[in-house]
Chains A and B, each alone.
Chain A
Amino acid sequence: MTDISGGIGSHSFWSQFFLVHQGISGLIVIFIYISIISLIAFAFSDYVVPLYKDEDTPLRPYTSYIIGFFEKLIGPLSLKRMKFKEYFLNLLFFNFVAALVAFLFIYLLNSPGALSGRPLTVPEMVNTVVSFTTNTDMQHFPVAGHFPQFAIFFSILGLMVVAPVTGFAASMAFIRGIRTNEENIGNFYHDFLVALFDLFIPLTVLFTILFAIEGLPETLLSSVATNHFQASTARILPLGPVASFVSFSAVGTNGAAFYPSNSAFPLQNPSWFSNLTEIVAFTLVPLASIFSLGRVLGNKNFSRMLYGTVIFIYLFASVFTFYFELHGIPLYRNLGIHYTGNMIGKENAIGIAQSSVFNVGATISSAGLTNSALIGYTPGGIIGIMVGLMINDPLGGFGTSVINIFTFVIFTAFLASLMVGKLPELMGFKLGAKEIKYSTLSLITHPLVVLIPLGLVAVAFGALSIQGNPSPQTITELFYEFTSAASNNGSSIGGLPFGRPFFEYLESIIMILGRYLLLGFQLYIAQLFANRRPRSESPNTVKVGSPYFGLLLLAVIMAIGLLSYFPVLALGPFLSFARDLGLLLEVIPF
């Protein structure tokens, strides 16, 4: 009797098919992931639109009391309409105060961590505070072991709120600059409070509940002793409010890890479902912001074009990484045994496709969470993951998605306008010398902030007395580290010996410049826009929503990234192919 059920049973055609054709099933997984995050973000954009339009969100009836209370607390400063300079200075001041408070807490209450067994050094503290304030969350120490030190834990957690909410406030000001022509870009404190109470807190509460249901620990217990099933001695398993921490980390695109191995650790990411929830959590606000842009600015095609461009990059990078990871190490593949791809450093329950789409998503956005050990990736896989870092997180972070992508949009609009014979304009705003100056500056900030330190470290490497041979692998690691810091991503490949004051301080500078220079330039452009009344878009101008504009935008993004980093890529990852995995070359389809 033949099996006509077709679906169930290990011998059915389709289950065999998906098992054998790993590539196809992986592509389907990637497609499903991207579809899910897009659909959820699209639905959520309804909620984001009023935030950008300065209208009341459905939650405002409840939050208005809290916002009002804090505004009274801050006093008249919270009511003032600010121009760029005042807005930006208040933003800087507020961030500085938050960082200073956190630093003092950590400095005064410093004691040996449970995992590292030593207290934090001052450079480490500076790096940590800067890293968390700039939404980078590059961690050179595991949070888990420090949870018992409540003060340290909560000052870090506090910065994990301040950083993304500041980013969202800045994006609100940016959009306001485009939307209105009242010669000011709003009030920082008001924007901050709205972003905090109307967006950040509700979302983190929601995701904390989801994560807790999915099995992430949510407890005030600092650790439990477990008996390792082979070892005779009991082991300490650190615990804490992991669900909340991950929720803050993912929703706020912080990417901070509770456990040293981030979401690769089962307690931080127990199943494929929590994996999916985490990716939804960190792409939700960035993607929703992009979707809402169209409705806020009255040009839905613009959103479609942005979405198409960003998702194309996402899809391309995911498939790229997936391809190389699936191919894995040629040596093994050529052995003739059944080889299922490079599973080094990956969680079995999650697999290659889900790891690829997760890690690429985390670098395309500024989350920087990771669900597998990046050091175990093939050089090809790493290049896919680095795409996002090299082009300064086109999907961006909590709020900053709008700001990051606009860096490229202005440049593209300039070029596209010229190419059709129009004086450069974007959505009716003339792009004059001043706008182009600041857009160029914001565009070159990222490459400069990465390449200058990279060059310095390469020249002074010997003097820095870092162990190990100078190798392409080291260049890859340094490059990854610096691009991650400059784009405030926080994804980390590891491998470098941290703790050296020089590195800690250097990275802090990179993070500060990568964050605040860019914010400053972009907010200044917003102020320039706010000073002007846009002309209604004429029919014969470049349509920013057209597919050709999207194509040019994609070309510009890739060109800027590729042209800035091609030589470094060649001497880093490309050469690593050759040196360390010589045989891998044969699978590169060049």
Chain B
Amino acid sequence: MTFRNFNPVLEARNPVMFVTEISLFVSVAISAIPSYFGIPSSGRYEFFYITVTALIFLTLLFSNLGAAISEGKSRSITESLQKLTTESVAHLLKDGGMVDVTSSKLKKGEIIHVKKNEPIPIDGEIIRGSAYVNESNITGESRPILKVEGDAVTGSTILLSDGIDLRVTHMPGETFIDKMIDIVKGTTRSRTPNEIALNVLLSGLTLVFLIVVSAVFALSHFLQATVNVMVLVVLLISLIPTTIGGLLPAIGIASINMVSQFNIIAKSGRAVENAGDVDTIILDKTGTITMGEREAVRLIPNNGVSLEDLAQACYISSKDDSTREGMSILKLASSLGAKDQELNGYTYIPFSPETKISGVIGENTFVVKGALKALKEKYDISDKYIEAVCKEISSRGGTAIPVVRDGSFIGVIELNDMLKPGIRERIEELKKMEIKTIMCTGDDEVTAAYMARESGIEHFIANSTPIDKYNVVKEEKKNARMVAMVGDGTNDAPALAYADVGLAMNNGTPAAKEAANMIDLDNNPTKLIDLIFLGKQILITRGSLTAFSIANDLAKYFVIIPAAFSIFPKLDFLNLLGFTHPLTAITSALIFNTIIIIILIPLALRGVRFRPSSADEILRRNLLFYGLGGVITPFIAIYIIYVILLATGVVW
């Protein structure tokens, strides 16, 4: 694996390593027949030549090692993914009957049935029934997830409860796991435009150093002090940016691995880099800033109504409600003493965004609940106490759902949505990075303002509809800002497609997933923030290592040039470290050049630590650390290596 990359044809894609490899061949030739190159071939010199050859070989090996580790990691990721695509039996619903076929024979649009405790054979959308699904094999989350009609399910996840009917949404071989495998495989080969640009720049530097070294040869020849060719090879290898050149492929592959470890499918490496470039981020309140599961936490009866009475009424109205909120109301009501009651003679009206109410209607009695405004208009009623309670709940960020029985308010259900733990800190980090955060929520102004204040967000859009999201993206794009957003619904798709970075949830609709350029398998929208960090981290790693690599050259010059021209004692004032053994000094510089690669491999794979702050602040910090550090470190390191070499008796 590591050695396969030694193929010069492959190395030609990376000019820095290509030059290194050519240098290796040259140094082998020099070591073999030094006299042919007109340089001394006594024992101590021969030892020096072989050492140099070995070190150049190690430089190549280490640089390929980094890439190999990354590639190995990405291979293990694909392998674990491939395990998920094993075939299983699907129950195809056809012409009113059920036929068993293998999952690979399924076609898009076909309807299949999945039974309890069976793996879901392929990606699909639930068209009948609701069930708990264990998605731990792709998300690592062992808690079963409730899936209802219209939700997407991923192939290979296990159905835990009653059977459901699915419509197949992806042909076998085109499912998300298949796509993810392709991407993880593919990114090891294709490079992002930014990587190409950096490569061009490094090639330019390499070319300059090639000419510099040739000029040194010519000038030394001119001064009748022709420098040893092997020393020139060392000079060349030390000067060309082998550090960043060697680690560049590793950084590229590692970044995609990191995305995969986040359980996100990125459709291209470019999308991840774009994420680091985001100026504006649009977050949904529900699910991103808050836990996303509104739960009934309290029942507040109206004057003259007992709590038990209210609980029983709530129970009846929510009995057939299969939404998460409805279930939580049922649970709360039961705990408050409501008894199970058959709904004879009642019809259930589900919640709709138009009417904004739901409940049950009997022949001469009804229990409905919903938005205060809608109820007031529909039944032409008002109640000061109830309105005050609702207002109070909203101002605390909760959602108030008044309950009306037979034309009068009997109480209020308080639903609450908790801020996600740690979200304040994340928002604070975004602020430090000077990224504009906009919160979109369907809640009213008061609730939205409360949530925004609580989470530290400055911009929010209350009563928002999906079209609002699209308009926000458009507005921000008009000011030429890079926009990132999260979405899951079909009506989010236009905004997702229009945004520069669109992250769709895996349980979102197929349209949303198609429009986004990244998909989160864990369905955790907060990860958008992690993605931004990751994108930045990749770029910072590249930039910092480039700066470090170039800055290193200064010290190498000050070590190698006086040593190479030790024939001119007066040049000794350049010998800042006071080395007395020229060949040992040159070897020390090369040793540093070689081992710095292996020392930095973990950094390249892990990425430079990114602490959110303003661009100026990051620039200052990295300039100091990698720029100035890059100047000073090699002086110290080469000195230490030199002393160690002398101490172990390696003197040439």
Given known A456-B218, A459-B218, contact A542–B212 (CB-CB < 8 A): no
Given known A563-B557, A564-B208, A575-B570, contact A422–B616 (CB-CB < 8 A): no
Chain B: number of interface residues, binned into ranges: 35 or more
Q: Which residue of B lies closest to A589 (CB)?
A: B573
* Chain A residues with CB under 8 A of B570: 575, 577-579, 582, 585
Given known A459-B221, A562-B554, A582-B570, contact A422–B627 (CB-CB < 8 A): no
Q: Is B219 located at the chain interface by the 8 A CB criterion?
A: yes
Contact yes or no, A568 B215, CB < 8 A: yes
Contacting B at CB under 8 A, from A52-68, are: none
Contact yes or no, B223 A475, CB < 8 A: yes
Contact yes or no, B223 A470, CB < 8 A: yes
Among the stretches A155-163, A215-223, A425-433, the one at the interface with B is A425-433
| Interchain CA distance A160-B206 in the complex, whole Å | 37
Q: Is B574 located at the chain interface by the 8 A CB criterion?
A: yes
Contact yes or no, A419 B279, CB < 8 A: no
| Interchain CA distance A458-B211 in the complex, whole Å | 14
| Interchain CA distance A422-B568 in the complex, whole Å | 47
* Chain A residues with CB under 8 A of B480: 428, 533-536
Contact yes or no, A421 B535, CB < 8 A: yes
Task: Specify which of A411, A444, A590 lies most central, judged by the most chain B CB atoms within 10 Å of its CB.
Answer: A444
* Chain A residues with CB under 8 A of B622: 419-420
Contacting A at CB under 8 A, from B602-625, are: 610, 614-616, 618-620, 622-623
Given known A455-B215, A541-B615, contact A433–B544 (CB-CB < 8 A): no
Contact yes or no, A420 B627, CB < 8 A: no
Contact yes or no, A452 B610, CB < 8 A: no
Please tell me which one of the listed residues B198, B538, B565, B615 contacts residue A570 in the complex, with CB atoms under 8 A apart.
B565
CB distance from A583 to the nearest CB of B (A): 11
| Interchain CA distance A421-B565 in the complex, whole Å | 41
Contact yes or no, A432 B197, CB < 8 A: yes
Contacting B at CB under 8 A, from A401-446, are: 411, 414-424, 428, 431-433, 435-437, 440-441, 443-444
Contact yes or no, A540 B434, CB < 8 A: yes
Q: Which residue of B lies closest to A570 (CB)?
A: B561
Q: Is B539 located at the chain interface by the 8 A CB criterion?
A: yes
Please tell me which one of the listed residues A414, A552, A564 contacts residue B623 in the complex, with CB atoms under 8 A apart.
A552
Given known A459-B222, A535-B480, A571-B216, contact A421–B623 (CB-CB < 8 A): no
Contacting B at CB under 8 A, from A534-568, are: 534-536, 538-543, 546, 548-549, 551-552, 555, 559, 562-568
Contact yes or no, A423 B273, CB < 8 A: yes
| Interchain CA distance A423-B212 in the complex, whole Å | 31
* Chain B residues with CB under 8 A of A97: none
Contact yes or no, A447 B573, CB < 8 A: no
Please tell me which one of the listed residues A472, A540, A552 contacts residue B433 in the complex, with CB atoms under 8 A apart.
A540
Q: Is B547 located at the chain interface by the 8 A CB criterion?
A: yes
* Chain B residues with CB under 8 A of A316: none
Q: Is A588 located at the chain interface by the 8 A CB criterion?
A: yes
Contact yes or no, B543 A418, CB < 8 A: yes
Contact yes or no, B222 A422, CB < 8 A: no
| Interchain CA distance A570-B223 in the complex, whole Å | 12
Contact yes or no, B208 A448, CB < 8 A: yes
Contact yes or no, B623 A455, CB < 8 A: no
* Chain B residues with CB under 8 A of A538: 279, 434, 481-482
Please tell me which one of the listed residues B211, B276, B551, B623 contacts residue A422 in the complex, with CB atoms under 8 A apart.
B276
| Interchain CA distance A160-B410 in the complex, whole Å | 95
Given known A455-B219, A563-B550, contact A420–B618 (CB-CB < 8 A): yes
**A interface residues, how many (CB within 8 angstroms):** 74
Q: Is B274 located at the chain interface by the 8 A CB criterion?
A: yes
Q: Is A451 located at the chain interface by the 8 A CB criterion?
A: yes
Contact yes or no, A470 B224, CB < 8 A: yes
Q: Is B99 located at the chain interface by the 8 A CB criterion?
A: no
Given known A475-B219, A546-B619, contact A424–B194 (CB-CB < 8 A): yes
Q: Which residue of B lies closest to A539 (CB)?
A: B434
Q: Which residue of A lies closest to B432 (CB)?
A: A540
Please tell me which one of the listed residues A451, A534, A590 contacts residue B215 in the complex, with CB atoms under 8 A apart.
A451
Contact yes or no, B200 A437, CB < 8 A: yes
Contacting A at CB under 8 A, from B179-224, are: 193-194, 196-198, 200-201, 203-205, 207-209, 211-212, 214-224
Scan A326-346; emit 1 where CB is below 8 A from any B CB, else 0.
000000000000000000000
Interface of A is mostly: helix
Contacting B at CB under 8 A, from A506-536, are: 533-536
CB distance from B15 to the nearest CB of A (A): 12
* Chain B residues with CB under 8 A of A575: 223, 568, 570-571
Q: Is A188 located at the chain interface by the 8 A CB criterion?
A: no
| Interchain CA distance A432-B201 in the complex, whole Å | 11
Q: Which residue of A lies closest to B537 (CB)?
A: A421
Q: Is A93 located at the chain interface by the 8 A CB criterion?
A: no
Given known A536-B479, A538-B279, contact A441–B557 (CB-CB < 8 A): no
Given known A452-B211, A458-B218, contact A590–B274 (CB-CB < 8 A): no
* Chain A residues with CB under 8 A of B546: 415, 418
CB distance from B200 to the nearest CB of A (A): 5
| Interchain CA distance A459-B217 in the complex, whole Å | 9
Given known A451-B212, A536-B481, A567-B215, contact A419–B547 (CB-CB < 8 A): yes
Contact yes or no, B565 A422, CB < 8 A: no
Contact yes or no, A420 B540, CB < 8 A: yes
Contact yes or no, B540 A419, CB < 8 A: yes
CB distance from A356 to the nearest CB of B (A): 22
* Chain A residues with CB under 8 A of B557: 563, 566-567
Q: Is A461 located at the chain interface by the 8 A CB criterion?
A: yes
Contacting A at CB under 8 A, from B109-145, are: none
Contact yes or no, A458 B221, CB < 8 A: yes
Contact yes or no, A571 B544, CB < 8 A: no
* Chain B residues with CB under 8 A of A474: 222
| Interchain CA distance A568-B222 in the complex, whole Å | 12
| Interchain CA distance A445-B563 in the complex, whole Å | 29
Please tell me which one of the listed residues A432, A458, A570 contacts residue B222 in the complex, with CB atoms under 8 A apart.
A458
CB distance from B640 to the nearest CB of A (A): 22
Scan A259-295; emit 1 where CB is below 8 A from any B CB, else 0.
0000000000000000000000000000000000000
Q: Is B576 located at the chain interface by the 8 A CB criterion?
A: yes
* Chain B residues with CB under 8 A of A455: 211, 214-215, 217-219
Contact yes or no, B197 A422, CB < 8 A: no
| Interchain CA distance A471-B224 in the complex, whole Å | 9
Contact yes or no, B547 A415, CB < 8 A: yes
| Interchain CA distance A567-B550 in the complex, whole Å | 16
| Interchain CA distance A358-B222 in the complex, whole Å | 33
* Chain B residues with CB under 8 A of A543: 615-616
* Chain B residues with CB under 8 A of A562: 554
* Chain B residues with CB under 8 A of A428: 480
Please tell me which one of the listed residues A447, A540, A559, A579 contacts residue B279 in the complex, with CB atoms under 8 A apart.
A540
Contact yes or no, B616 A548, CB < 8 A: yes
Given known A423-B194, A423-B276, A436-B200, contact A542–B615 (CB-CB < 8 A): yes
Q: Is B405 located at the chain interface by the 8 A CB criterion?
A: no
Contact yes or no, B221 A567, CB < 8 A: no
| Interchain CA distance A472-B223 in the complex, whole Å | 7
Q: Is B294 located at the chain interface by the 8 A CB criterion?
A: no
Contact yes or no, B540 A444, CB < 8 A: no
Contact yes or no, A564 B540, CB < 8 A: no
CB distance from B219 to the nearest CB of A (A): 5
Q: Is A574 located at the chain interface by the 8 A CB criterion?
A: yes
Contact yes or no, A421 B618, CB < 8 A: yes
* Chain B residues with CB under 8 A of A452: 211, 215
Contact yes or no, B623 A444, CB < 8 A: no
CB distance from A497 to the nearest CB of B (A): 16
With A433-B196, A563-B553, A579-B570 given, name 16 new contacts (CB 8 A): A418-B198, A419-B619, A437-B200, A447-B212, A455-B214, A535-B480, A540-B435, A541-B615, A546-B616, A546-B619, A552-B623, A555-B627, A559-B554, A568-B219, A585-B573, A590-B576
Top 5 closest pairs, chain A to chain B, by CB: A578-B570, A418-B543, A421-B536, A535-B480, A440-B204
Can you report 10 residue pairs joining A to B where beta carbons are below 8 Å apart?
A: A418-B546, A419-B543, A421-B538, A459-B221, A538-B434, A552-B619, A563-B239, A566-B561, A567-B219, A570-B574
